[in-house]
Structure 1
Amino acid sequence: MRLPGRMAAAIAVLEDIESHRRPVAEALKAWGLANRFAGAGDRAAIGNLVYDGLRRKRSHGWAMQSEAARALVLSVVVREWGESPESLATLFADDPHAPAALSPDEVARLSATDPLAGAPAAVVADLPDWIAALLEISLGHDWIVEGQGLTGRPPLDLRANLLKSDRARVMKALSRFSPQEGPTSPWGLRLAAGPRDARTPNVLTDEAWLKGWVEVQDQGSQVVSLLCGVQPGEQVLDLCAGAGGKTLALAALMGNKGQIFAHDSDRTRLAPIYDRLKRAGVRNVQVRPPAETALDDLVGRMDRVVVDAPCTGSGTWRRQPHAKWKLTPEQLALRVAEQQQILDDAARFVKPGGSLAYITCSVLPDENGAQAQAFLARHPEFRVVPGHGLWHKAFGGSGARARFTAEGGILLTPATTGTDGFYIARFERAQ
Structure 2
Amino acid sequence: MTPTARISAAIEVVASILADRRPAAEVLTEWGRGHRFAGSGDRAALSSLVYDTLRRRASSAWLMAEETPRALVLGMLKLGRGLDAQAIGQLCDGSRFAPAPLSDAEAARLGNATLEDAPAHVRGDYPEWLDASLAAVFGEGRAQEGAALADRAPLDLRVNTLKADVAKAMQQLDHLAPIHGVWSPLALRIAPNADGKAPPLTSEPAYLKGMVEIQDEGSQLAAILSAPARGAQVLDLCAGGGGKTLALAALMDNAGQLYAYDDDLRRLAPIHERIQRAGAHNVQVRSPKGKGRAGVDVLEDLTGRMDLVLIDAPCTGTGTWRRNPDAKWRMRPGALAERMKDQAEILEAAERFVKPGGRLAYITCSLLDEENVGQVRAFLDRHADFHVIPPVDVVLALGERGIALREAALERPEGLLLTPLRTGTDGFFVSIMVRDA
Q: TM-score, normalised by structure 2?
A: 0.95
Aligned equivalent of 2:274, options 259, 276, 300: 276
Could you tell me how far apart the structure 2 residues matched to 1:142 and 1:117 are?
Answer: 15
Aligned equivalent of 1:256, options 242, 254, 270: 254
Shift of 1:372: 0.6
Report matched runs for 1:25-424 at 5 Å: 25-93=25-93, 95-112=95-112, 114-195=113-194, 197-290=195-288, 291=291, 292-397=296-401, 399-400=404-405, 401-424=407-430
Could you tell me how far apart the structure 1 residues matched to 2:297 and 2:221 are?
Answer: 32
Question: For the Cα contact (< 8 Å) 2:235–2:259, is it kept in 1?
Answer: yes
Give the letter for the 2:215 counterpart. Q
Shift of 1:351: 0.4
Could you tell me how far apart the structure 2 residues matched to 1:277 and 1:393 are?
Answer: 24
Answer with 247-256 or 316-325: which moved more. Answer: 316-325
Could you tell me how far apart the structure 1 residues matched to 2:338 and 2:197 are?
Answer: 36
Could you tell me how far apart the structure 1 residues matched to 2:28 and 2:39 are?
Answer: 13
Answer with 120-129 or 335-344: which moved more. Answer: 120-129
Shift of 1:63: 0.3
Question: Partner of 1:425: helix, strand, or coil?
Answer: strand
Could you tell me how far apart the structure 2 residues matched to 1:264 and 1:67 are?
Answer: 40
Give the letter for the 2:132 counterpart. A
User: Which consecutive unaligned segments of at least 5 residues does structure 2 have?
Assistant: none
RMSD of aligned residue pairs (Cα, Å):
1.4
Q: Which residue of 2 aligns with 1:9?
A: 9
Percent identity for Structure 1 against Structure 2: 49
Q: Deviations over 1:226-264 (max 9, x none)?
A: 011101100000000000000000000000000000000
Could you tell me how far apart the structure 2 residues matched to 1:422 and 1:416 are?
Answer: 11
Could you tell me how far apart the structure 1 residues matched to 2:378 and 2:221 are?
Answer: 24
Question: For the Cα contact (< 8 Å) 2:377–2:414, is it kept in 1?
Answer: no
Could you tell me how far apart the structure 1 residues matched to 2:369 and 2:160 are?
Answer: 32
Question: For the Cα contact (< 8 Å) 1:5–1:95, is it kept in 2?
Answer: no
Question: For the Cα contact (< 8 Å) 2:94–2:100, is it kept in 1?
Answer: no
Question: For the Cα contact (< 8 Å) 2:210–2:278, is it kept in 1?
Answer: yes
Give the letter for the 1:58 counterpart. A
Question: For the Cα contact (< 8 Å) 1:383–1:429, is it kept in 2?
Answer: yes
Q: Structure 1 pair 56/90, CA: closer, same or farther in 2 (3 Å)?
A: closer
Answer with 128-137 or 311-320: which moved more. Answer: 128-137
Question: Partner of 2:412: helix, strand, or coil?
Answer: coil
Question: For the Cα contact (< 8 Å) 1:386–1:408, is it kept in 2?
Answer: yes
Q: Deviations over 1:11-53 (max 9, x none)?
A: 1111111112211100000000100111111111111111111
Question: For the Cα contact (< 8 Å) 1:163–1:281, is it kept in 2?
Answer: yes
Shift of 1:194: 3.5
Give the letter for the 2:209 counterpart. K
Q: Which residue of 2 aligns with 1:22?
A: 22
Q: Deviations over 1:172-227 (max 9, x none)?
A: 111111111112110000012344x2431111101100111000000000000001
Answer with 316-325 or 272-281: which moved more. Answer: 316-325
Shift of 1:406: 3.2
Shift of 1:135: 1.2
Could you tell me how far apart the structure 2 residues matched to 1:254 and 1:127 are?
Answer: 39
Give the letter for the 2:435 counterpart. R
Question: For the Cα contact (< 8 Å) 1:413–1:420, is it kept in 2?
Answer: yes
Question: For the Cα contact (< 8 Å) 1:369–1:405, is it kept in 2?
Answer: no
Give the letter for the 1:87 counterpart. A
Shift of 1:130: 2.3
Q: Structure 1 pair 4/395, CA: closer, same or farther in 2 (3 Å)?
A: farther
Could you tell me how far apart the structure 2 residues matched to 1:59 and 1:264 are?
Answer: 38
Question: For the Cα contact (< 8 Å) 1:256–1:283, is it kept in 2?
Answer: yes
Q: Structure 1 pair 79/147, CA: closer, same or farther in 2 (3 Å)?
A: closer
Question: For the Cα contact (< 8 Å) 1:41–1:199, is it kept in 2?
Answer: no
Could you tell me how far apart the structure 2 residues matched to 1:397 and 1:41 are?
Answer: 40
Give the letter for the 1:361 counterpart. C
Question: For the Cα contact (< 8 Å) 1:387–1:404, is it kept in 2?
Answer: no
Shift of 1:92: 3.8
Shift of 1:138: 1.6
Could you tell me how far apart the structure 1 residues matched to 2:355 and 2:202 are?
Answer: 39
Could you tell me how far apart the structure 2 residues matched to 1:193 and 1:424 are?
Answer: 27
Could you tell me how far apart the structure 1 residues matched to 2:131 and 2:377 are?
Answer: 22
Question: Partner of 2:72: helix, strand, or coil?
Answer: helix
Give the letter for the 1:223 counterpart. L
Shift of 1:397: 5.0
Give the letter for the 2:329 counterpart. W
